[in-house]
Amino acid sequence: MANRGRRKKQMRELTESKAEMQMTPMIDVTFLLLIFFMCTIKFKKLEGKLAAYLPKDMGQDTTEVDPVEKLDIRLDVVAEGERRSPDGKVAYRPGVHPRFEYVDRIFSIRIGPREFTSDRIEEVADRLRVFASDDPERPVTIDPRSGIVTEDVVRILDRVLDAGFKKVSFAGSYEG
Amino acid sequence: MNIAKHDAETDMEMNMTPMIDVVFLLIIFFMIITDLSQQELEDLELPMAEKAQEDKPDPKAKRPILNIKQNGQIIVKRDVLFDPADGNTDRSRVATFLQSMAERMEKVDGYPDDPVLIRADEFTPFREIQKIMEMCADQNIKIWKVELAAKVPDA
């Protein structure tokens, strides 16, 4: 009779401990998944932006003379460079690689009206700061020519906004 | 119900289940949110800009996001609206999209007051963006604020 009592207790302990063991690792895994997804959201949102403005009367005839002299920045390609695979090691092949990277690219920057031309961004940045210190409200137009890519324009726009210019716009496209 | 059994093990057993349900629900919630928030952003290599302002999108603002790949494809919410392959120049679907977004924007002096975010790959020819900007100048659209998405350098 004493044995029966002990066996009953053993059986009870067995069934109780079984459920307990299964719970804990499952909770650990669940919390880990939760933290993983919380971190995934955070990484995706770290993007920046540069603001520019389109002149409100673009597209209509602009026969009126501009009272303020616009600062015109013209971008031209000097050397298009070579298209490489994303890791830069081999030449780019359209079906094989998802995107290409340009290597050895050179573009020239001409700041009117004194026709200061350069292909070094830092020189340009210094010159822009000089212009901006005279008049930060002066409208700036960025005029990218054939072959210019987004990265070129964004680097210049970055320096233009950094110099302190407030009104930056873009010229129309020249190709059909 | 056994009132006599008050050891710690039995107590924990009773409280666990709803907590696990809640945790699973939270996981499903985050999974859905992550998927929905990334629907508009294509996988691109954005150009780097040191002075780019951090993009804190206001969920209430109606800001159209145009993704432009290297080959000139314009993608909005995973849908390819324009593909320049084979000499195609018909950007009408993009114009329709911009027009419908512009109509829903709040207007100030007759011009929509919200910007359009252009997320272009760093090596996208800039004339693709210029074409979009020219579309924005259209009388039916008149969007005048443009934001170019950029990468912030690692601090």
> How far A148 CA sits from the closest chain B CA (Å)?
6
**B39-78 as b/e: b if 16+ CB within 10 A:** ebbbebebbbbebbeebeeeeeeebbbbbbbbbbbbbbee
| 3-state SS class at A126 | helix
- DSSP string covering B68-106: E-TT--EEETTEEEE--GGG----HHHHHHHHHHHHHS-
pLDDT digits (tens, 9 = 90+) for B44-103: 888 888 887 777 777 667 788 899 998 889 999 888 888 888 888 888 898 999 999 888
Task: Give the ipTM of the model, two decimals please.
Answer: 0.72
pTM above threshold 0.90: no
pLDDT digits (tens, 9 = 90+) for A46-82: 678 888 887 765 444 445 555 667 888 888 888 888 8
Alpha carbon distance B147, B118 (integer Å): 6
A31 vs B23, B45, B142: nearest CB? B23
pLDDT digits (tens, 9 = 90+) for B119-143: 999 899 998 898 888 888 888 888 8
| Contact (CB<8Å) B47/A155 | yes
Alpha carbon distance B105, B136 (integer Å): 14
| 3-state SS class at A83 | strand
B34 vs A37, A151, A175: nearest CB? A37
Q: Is residue B43 within 8 Å of residue A44, measured between CB atoms?
A: no
| Contact (CB<8Å) A148/B111 | no
